[in-house]
A = this chain, B = another copy of it.
Amino acid sequence: MNPVENHTLDHELGERLATSGFRFTSQRRCVYDVLLQKRDHPTAEEVFQRAKRQMPDISHATVYNCLDALVACGLVRQVQLERGATRYCPNMEEHCHYYCDECGAVFDVALPPEATSMPGPKGFKIDHYEIAVHGFCADCVKKK
């Protein structure tokens, strides 16, 4: 990533954080960078491990704090796919997750707009959809 892009990203990240009442910190930039660099839906622990490579003193609690801030300001989504650790996803476009119950692989698939148009409980104010499709990926189907 070149310096100009970097600077632009920092600026946008700062704005997003600020409008939700959060401060811009180097840790939050680092955590957001980690998520953008490898979009494989890492757990908080995995984010922590990767962030430590760039920022050796970052702590566990800070990673959770940063992830929560990024979720709260709409830059990152929390993804719950199985019992156990939550995963994080910086793709904010409408999409669903195909999840391989065998190997744990996750595939983002764009959502057709009509997929999210069911009538809900009366008065319910929708914030967002979380659509997970469970099954077996092509590789794991072959192996059986």
Contacts and interface: CB of A to CB of B under 8 A. Distances in A.
Interface in A76-96: 78, 80-83, 86, 96
Nearest to A127: B135
B130 A132 contact: yes
A118 B109 contact: yes
* Chain A: number of interface residues, binned into ranges: 35 or more
A25 B129 CA distance: 38
Given A118-B111, A118-B112, A118-B115, A124 B135 contact: yes
A56 interface: no
Interface of A: 78, 80-83, 86, 96, 98, 100-101, 107, 109, 111-112, 114-115, 118-138, 141-142
